[in-house]
């Protein structure tokens, strides 16, 4: 996991040239890039290889969720792109997560980290109740994080407000990758559970996924540099 710079820039461009230009702009100030389903669906593995040419670590945010054999095959396929991190939905269950973990083992020390997605940052307690999941959202995150750890995954993706609970439940080595990161003055957009970079790091986040605060800025590189400098000063 990144130590000096935990910022992964969420590449929110679908056009490969625009995405490549963004990656070039932030290449120095960020620790890695996150590639979303939109880009992968539009451009496929070849498009990912184009962005990988930057040399930045890649988080392939494809959120696999299917029967175990299908997920294992998908994981083996994306490993050819040499990502640093990939993810699957923890709600896919223990067998599916174990299949995903087993599928990366052939990569040895260079294998990607496999993360379990807990509860999407666009959801809250009411949304969970709508789909039949009762109780508190934080309890559901801890349950899924523990399930992911027991299935052999390296960490989870969780919202900022849920950092502390899975950190306590799963220990210091378990990786926490956190989207929904916004500077204090930024709009939350379509995410209901957000937090500033400094707050998230203080609670124990390993990776901070930051999108619009960088990509929608007039100068993305300057925005990324300011965020990185703020984190470095507080370290």
- The residues annotated as belonging to the active site are 63
Task: Kindly report the three-state secondary structure assignment for every residue of 153-195.
Answer: CCEEECCHHHCHHHHHHHCCCCEEEECCECCCCCCCCCCCCCE
Kindly give, in sequence order, each residue whose CB lies less than 8 Å from that of residue 210, ignoring residues fewer than 6 positions away.
7, 8, 9, 10, 181, 182, 197, 224, 227
Do 27 and 49 contact (CB within 8 A), yes or no? no
Closest CA to 179 of 145, 205, 148: 205
Closest CA to 67 of 37, 88, 38, 44: 88
H or E segment to which residue 207 belongs? strand 207-210
Do 201 and 234 contact (CB within 8 A), yes or no? yes
Number of residues that this document lists for the chain = 235
């Amino acid at each position: 996991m990144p130590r000096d710079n935990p910022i992964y820039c969420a590449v929110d461009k679908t056009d490969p040239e625009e995405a490549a230009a963004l990656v070039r702009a932030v290449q120095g100030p960020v620790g890695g890039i996150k590639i979303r389903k939109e880009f992968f669906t539009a451009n496929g593995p070849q498009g990912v290889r184009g962005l990988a040419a930057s040399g930045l670590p890649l988080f392939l945010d494809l959120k696999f969720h299917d029967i175990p054999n299908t997920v294992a095959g998908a994981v083996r396929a994306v490993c050819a792109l040499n990502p640093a991190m990939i993810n699957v939905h923890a709600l896919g269950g223990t067998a599916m997560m174990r299949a995903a973990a087993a599928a990366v083992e052939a990569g040895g020390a260079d294998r990607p980290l496999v993360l379990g997605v807990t509860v999407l940052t666009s959801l809250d307690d009411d949304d969970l109740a709508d789909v039949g999941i009762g109780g508190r959202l934080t309890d559901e995150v801890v349950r899924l994080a523990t399930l992911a750890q027991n299935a052999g995954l390296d960490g989870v993706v969780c919202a900022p407000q849920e950092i502390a609970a899975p950190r306590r439940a799963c220990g210091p080595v378990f990786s926490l990758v956190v989207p929904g990161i916004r500077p204090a003055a930024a709009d939350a957009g379509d995410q209901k559970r957000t937090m500033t970079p400094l707050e998230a790091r203080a609670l124990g986040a390993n990776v901070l996924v930051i999108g619009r605060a960088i990509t929608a800025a007039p100068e993305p590189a300057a925005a990324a540099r300011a965020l990185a400098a703020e984190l470095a000063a507080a370290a």
